[in-house]
Structure 1
Amino acid sequence: MSPMSTAQGEGLEVRSLVRVFGSGGTAVRAVDDVSFHAPAGLLTGFVGGNGAGKTSTMRMMMGVLAPSSGETLFGGRPVTAADRRTFGYMPEERGLYPKQPVLDQLVYLARLRGIPAATARAEVLDHLARLGLADRAREHVEKLSLGNQQRVQIIAAVMGSPRALILDEPFSGLDPAAVDGMVDLLREHTSRGVPVLFSSHQLDLVERLCERLVILRQGKVVADGTPASLAARGVVRHRLVLSGDAGWVRGMDGVHAVDIDGSVALVEVSDDDAARRLLGAALDRGGVHEFSPVRPSLTEIYREVAA
Structure 2
Amino acid sequence: MEAVLSVEGLEKSFKNTKVLHNITFDVHKGEIMAILGPNGAGKSTTIRNIMGIMYPDDGSVTFHNHQGSEIPRHKIGYLPEERGLYKNVKVMDIILYFAELKDYPIKKAKERALQYLEKFGLEGKENVSVEELSKGMGQKVQFIGSIIHEPELLILDEPFSGLDPVSQDVFKQEIKELANNGTAILLSSHQMNLVEEMCDRLFMINRGQKVIYGSLKDVKSKYANFKCTILGDNSAQQLESINQVTRVEQDGYSSVLYLEQGIELPSWLHTLPNNLDIVELKVDRISLHEIFVDVALGRSIAEEVGGTYAQ
TM-score range (shorter-chain normalised) is: 0.7 to 0.9
Q: Give CA-to-partner distance per residue, 1:153-196, whole Å, 9 cap, x none.
A: 11011012111101111111111111111112112221122110
Deviation larger for 270-279 or 205-214: 270-279
Q: Distance in 2 between matches of 1:142 and 1:241?
A: 51
Structure 1 match to 2:148: 159
TM-score by length of structure 2 reads 0.81
Q: Distance in 2 between matches of 1:114 and 1:280?
A: 67
From 189, 195, 204, the counterpart of 1:215: 204
* Structure 2 contact 248–255 (Cα < 8 Å) conserved: no
SS in 2 for 1:136: coil
- 1:95 is displaced (CA, Å) by 4.0
1:129 aligns with 2:109: no
Give ranges in structure 1 of 5+ residues lacking alignment.
Answer: 1-7
Structure 1 match to 2:257: 266
SS in 2 for 1:167: strand
From 162, 178, 186, the counterpart of 1:197: 186
Structure 2 match to 1:298: 288
Q: Cα 1:139–1:272, aligned 2, differ >3 Å: closer, same or farther? A: closer
Q: Distance in 1 between matches of 2:268 and 2:170?
A: 50
- 1:197 is displaced (CA, Å) by 0.4
SS in 1 for 2:176: helix
TM-score by length of structure 1 reads 0.82
Structure 1 match to 2:270: 279
Structure 2 match to 1:12: 5
From 149, 168, 190, the counterpart of 2:138: 149
From 30, 35, 39, the counterpart of 2:24: 35
* Structure 1 contact 234–295 (Cα < 8 Å) conserved: no
* Structure 1 contact 11–194 (Cα < 8 Å) conserved: no
- What amino acid maps onto 1:117 in structure 2? I
Structure 2 match to 1:4: none
- 1:143 is displaced (CA, Å) by 2.2
- 1:128 is displaced (CA, Å) by 0.9
Q: Cα 1:225–1:76, aligned 2, differ >3 Å: closer, same or farther? A: farther
Structure 1 match to 2:301: none
SS in 1 for 2:124: helix
Q: Give CA-to-partner distance per residue, 1:85-139, whole Å, 9 cap, x none.
A: 2111112223422211011111122133222222111111111111111232212
Structure 2 match to 1:59: 48
* Structure 1 contact 213–224 (Cα < 8 Å) conserved: yes
- 1:198 is displaced (CA, Å) by 1.4
Matched residues, number: 293
Give ranges in structure 2 of 5+ residues lacking alignment.
Answer: 298-311
Q: Cα 1:141–1:207, aligned 2, differ >3 Å: closer, same or farther? A: same
Q: Cα 1:292–1:110, aligned 2, differ >3 Å: closer, same or farther? A: same
**Which structure has the greater CA radius of gyration?**
1
Q: RMSD value over aligned CA atoms?
A: 3.2
SS in 2 for 1:20: strand
Q: Give CA-to-partner distance per residue, 1:50-82, whole Å, 9 cap, x none.
A: 221111111111112111111112336646635
- What amino acid maps onto 1:172 in structure 2? S
Q: Distance in 2 between matches of 1:83 and 1:303?
A: 37
Q: Distance in 2 between matches of 1:277 and 1:166?
A: 44
* Structure 2 contact 73–102 (Cα < 8 Å) conserved: no
